[in-house]
Amino acid sequence: MRVFKSVYGCAGVLILVVAAGVAALAQEAPEVGPKAPLAVKPMQSHVGSMTGHAAAAKSDYRRYCAGCHGDYGDSNGENAVWLDPKPRDFTIATFKCRSTPTGTLPTDEDLFNTIGRGVTNSNMPIWNALGPQMRADLVAYIKIFSPRWEKEKAGEPIKIPAEPPVTIESIAHGKALFTKLECWKCHGLHGEGDGPSAATLTDSKDLPIRPYNFAAGKNDSRFKCGDTNQDLYKIFMTGLDGTPMPSFADVIQPNDAWDLVHFLRTLQVNRHGKENEVLSAAHGVIPPYVEKTPAPAAAPSDNKSPGGGN
Amino acid sequence: MRMWAQSHLCQKPQRTPSVLAAAFALAFLILGAGQSASAFPAFARKYGLRCSACHESWPMLNYFGQKFKDNGYQLMNDRDAPIWQNNGYWPVTFRFTPFWSRESTNKVATDQSPTGQQKLTATGFSFGGLDILSGGTLEKNISFLFVPSSDETGAFHFESANVRFDNLLHSPWFNVKVGKFELDSFISEKRELNLSANGATYQLFHFIPVGDGNIFGQLGDNQLAVEWMGHSYNDRTRISITAFNSVDGSPDRPYGQNSYSWFIAGSQAFNTGKLGVQRVGGYAVLGQAATTYATSGGAPVTGSGVGNKDFYRVGFEGLFYLGPKLDFQVFTQHGSDSAWFGQGYGDFIDNPTGVCQSATGPQPCNNTPGTQLIPGARRPTWNGAFVETHVVWHPQFTIFQRSEWVRMSQQSTPGTPSNLGDIDNYVIGYRYNPFMTSRAGFAFHNEFSWLRQRGTAPDGISDLSTNSLMAGFDFAF
C-alpha cells in the first residue's frame, strides 16, 4: 500500500510538472519573439571551391543572425530597435561592402568576407569563428529575402591596379583631391567626421548616418569594409550603397584614387603605417600640390641635339 | 558546496557513513549550486546577440562563444569598452532553477533495517541556489568575472572572482588572469547541460580514490591562481598555463604556504567542411600538496602545511561535430596520487578526525616526522573517460547524454579489491528553450541520471548506486 501511494504520488507530481511545462511552453510568444520561419528558396552561393546552400543555413541564421536582421531579413529582429546603426535590410539587397560597381549586387565572396570580417562601428561581430562552409551557407540564405537575387547577377568586380609607392607628392595630391571632391564636407577637414554636412546625412531608409571618423581608433583602426589600402580604394571606387557615400569611379583615375588612399591614411593619426612614416619624414607638413601641366608639344627646332648627326 | 557533497558521497563512504544520509538529503541543495559561471544574458544585452550566438544550448559554449570568452568577454569590435554602453547597462545576471526531483539511493545506513542498510527514495520540490554573475570589461582589454553563489539556504560563497588583462602587447597570445577561476579546460563543467544531482558533476573532474586524502587535484573546482592564456586570432589554437595554490580554491582553508600546482592545456581546432569545426587537445595537472601539519592542542594549525607530496592528472579532450545537429565531447584521464595521499594523508585541515594507516598502526592523518607508510603502499592510479553527446535538434531544443567510466588500475593498499571505487555514470535528458532572445534565457529541463560506485555501500562490500530524476525550469536574466 505504501508503495502504491508512493507511485501514484510520484505520477501525480510528474503530471503536474509536465503540465506546468506544457503551460509554460504554450504561453503566447512575445511580440519581439521569433515568427514563423520563411520558406527557404533553393539559393546557392559559390565561394572558392565551396558551394553554399540556403537550406543548410536555416538553423544557423536563426541562431546567429535573426536577432538583429530579423527572421524575414527585414532588419526587424528583436534587437534592432536598440542598435545604431541599424542592421542590414536583406529584403532590398543593398550592400555597402562590395567589390562591384555601385548599384549592382555584391559577389558571394564580398558577402562571405563581410560575415567573416564583421563591420566595425556597428554591432556586426567578426564571425570568423564560424566555419567557412557555414558562412557560405549563410551567404546563400541571405539571398532568399530579396527577389533581386533571382533577377540579377552580381556585378563584375572592379579592377584594382597595383598600388604605386607612397610619396609626399602622392599624399599632397590626395589632399588636393580630398578638397576638390568635397570629401571634407562630410568627413571634415581633418577627417573627423564633422564636416558641415555631417549632421544632415541620412541613409536610404532615411535614418541618420554619421560619416566615417578617420581620426578615431588606435593602431588597429579599421574601415567598415576592411583594413587594407585595397579595401579603402574599393570603398570610394564602388561607393557604399545605401549611404550618402557615392562611387567616384567616374570622377577620378585609378592612380589619382591611390593618391587619395595615401592621404586618407594620414588622417588616421594613431595608425603606424608607411603613409604616416612618409609624412613624418616630411616633418608632418604636406606641401601644396602643384598641378602638373602637360608638357607642351615640342616645337620645331633647327637646333640639333648634341652629338646628333645628320 | 556541491563538490564537497559529491566527493563524500562517492569517494569516502566507508569512513563517514553518516554523510551518506546527509548527502542524500542535500541532493536538492546540490542541484543548483554547481552551475556558476555559465550563461550571461548581460553579455547578450550588451552586444545585442541572442544567447544562441554564443551557446550551443546555454550554458554550453559554441565555437563563437569560446572565442568571445578567450578574448576576455569581447567581440573585439569598438563596442567592447563599457564607456560605449548606455548608462543604464549593468553587467549582472541572475540564475535560478526551481525543480521537482526524485532521488533514490540503493543502500543507506539506517537503524531500522535488519541488515543495517536499506534503499531510500525521496521526492519533492526544491530550487537551486542563486548565482549572481557579474562580468564583462572594465575597459578595452581589461575584463573581470565575479560570481557570488548561494545554496538554497542563502549561504553565499565566491565561486569566481578574477580580473584578466587581455591582448597584452596587442597580441592575443598574451592574456593574464589573476584571482579565483575555472581551469582552462575547453570542456567546461561550469557550462555543462546536466543539472540533476547525479548528473551535474563530471566524475573525472573530481575523482578521488576511496580512502585517498588528496582533495587538491579536482580540476572541476575553481582555483586561486594566475593564468597565462594565448590563442590565435581566430581561436583555432589555444594554450594556457595556470599556477594555483593547492588549497582546492578555498582561501579559508590554507593547507600550506608553499604548495603550488600547475595546470597546462592546449588544443587545436580545424575545419572539416560540412562536418564543422573539430577541436582536439590535451591537459595535465601537475601538483603537489601538503601532508604534514603543526598542531596546537592536537588541532591542526592552518597554514602550517609542509611535506608536499605529488599527484598528476593527464588526458585528452576533444569536441567533434558530425554536422550542425550532432556533436560529441570526449574526455579522458589518467591519474595518479602519491602513496601518501593514497593512504589518506593530505586532507587534515578539513578532516582532522580522520584515521590513516601507518607502519605502526592507525594514526591521525598527519604525516608527522617518523611516520612510515604501511609496507607495500603504492600510488593509487586510475583511468577514466566520458563521452557526452548533444543532439541539437534546433537551436531551442537539445537532447543530451553522457556516459562516464572511471576504473582503478592500482589500489594504494595491497589486497584491496581491484575495482573498489570504480564509477559508472549515465545521464540522459533534454532541454527546451521556448523562446530565444537577447534578454533572458529560459529552459524547461528534464533529466535522468544514474551513478554507481563499486564497493562503497555502508557495508563496505556491495556497490552504492543512486539515481535522480529531475524536471525544472532553468532561467537566467
Work out the mean pLDDT of chain A and round it to a whole number. Answer: 84
User: Is A199 part of any domain?
Assistant: yes
User: Is A2 part of any domain?
Assistant: no
String of DSSP letters for A150-210: HH-PBPPPPP-PPPPPP-HHHHHHHHHHHHHTTTHHHH-TTSSS--TTGGG-B-TTS-B-P
User: Is A34 part of any domain?
Assistant: no
pLDDT, residue A19, reads 52
Number of domains composing chain A: 2
Give me the CATH number covering residue A172. 1.10.760.10
- In this predicted model, which residue has the larger pLDDT, B184 or A219? B184
pLDDT, residue B87, reads 79
Instruction: Flag the least confident range among A200-214, B34-48, B110-124, B214-228.
Output: B34-48
- pLDDT, tens digit, for every residue of A129-186? 888 999 999 999 999 999 999 999 999 999 999 999 999 999 999 999 999 999 999 9
> Please, which residues have CB within 8 angstroms of residue A53's CB and are 6 or more apart in sequence?
A42, A43, A44, A137, A140
pLDDT level of residue B4 (50, 70, 90 thresholds): very low
- In this predicted model, which residue has the larger pLDDT, B258 or B108? B108
pLDDT, residue A6, reads 59
Alpha helices in B270-378 (DSSP H): 339-342
Q: Is A7 in the B-facing interface, judged by CB distances under 8 Å?
A: no
Whether residue A125 is found in the same domain as residue A174 = no
User: Is A192 part of any domain?
Assistant: yes
Instruction: Flag the least confident range among A185-199, B24-38, B180-194.
Output: B24-38
CA distance to partner chain B, nearest, from residue A293 (Å): 45
Whether residue A139 is found in the same domain as residue A206 = no
User: Is A243 part of any domain?
Assistant: yes
User: Is A58 part of any domain?
Assistant: yes
Whether residue A146 is found in the same domain as residue A110 = yes
Q: Which residues of B169-207 are buried (b: 16+ CB within 10 A; e: fewer)?
A: eeebbebebebbbbbbbbbbbbbbbbbbbbbbbbbbbbb
Indicate whether B439 pLDDT > 90: no
Residue A128 is nearest to which of B123, B234, B446, comparing CB atoms? B234
Out of A106, A126, A151, pick the residue that ends a domain.
A151
| DSSP 8-state class, residue A275 | H
Asked if residue A140 lies in contact with residue B97, where contact means CB atoms within 8 angstroms, the answer is: no
pLDDT, residue A293, reads 65
Q: Is B54 in the A-facing interface, judged by CB distances under 8 Å?
A: no
Q: Which domain holds residue A90?
A: 44-151
Asked if residue A140 lies in contact with residue A111, where contact means CB atoms within 8 angstroms, the answer is: no
Whether residue A179 is found in the same domain as residue A274 = yes
Residue A120 is nearest to which of B78, B100, B123, comparing CB atoms? B78
Instruction: Flag the least confident range among B20-34, B122-136, B384-398.
Output: B20-34
Whether residue A85 is found in the same domain as residue A189 = no
- In this predicted model, which residue has the larger pLDDT, B224 or B9? B224
Q: Is A48 in the B-facing interface, judged by CB distances under 8 Å?
A: no
Q: Report pTM.
A: 0.85
Whether residue A146 is found in the same domain as residue A180 = no
pLDDT, residue A140, reads 97
Residue A131 is nearest to which of B48, B53, B276, comparing CB atoms? B276
Indicate whether A294 pLDDT > 80: no
> What are the chain A neighbours of B446 within 8 Å (beta carbons)?
21
Indicate whether B401 pLDDT > 90: yes
User: Is A242 part of any domain?
Assistant: yes
d(CA A200, CA A191): 17
Out of A91, A117, A151, pick the residue that ends a domain.
A151
Out of A151, A184, A218, pick the residue that ends a domain.
A151
User: Is A12 part of any domain?
Assistant: no
Give me the CATH number covering residue A143. 1.10.760
Whether residue A147 is found in the same domain as residue A192 = no
Give the H or E element holding residue A265.
helix A254-267
Whether residue A232 is found in the same domain as residue A192 = yes
Q: Is A133 in the B-facing interface, judged by CB distances under 8 Å?
A: yes
Domains of chain B, each with CATH number or no CATH: 2-35+96-126+189-476 (2.40.160)
**B125-147 average pLDDT score:** 93
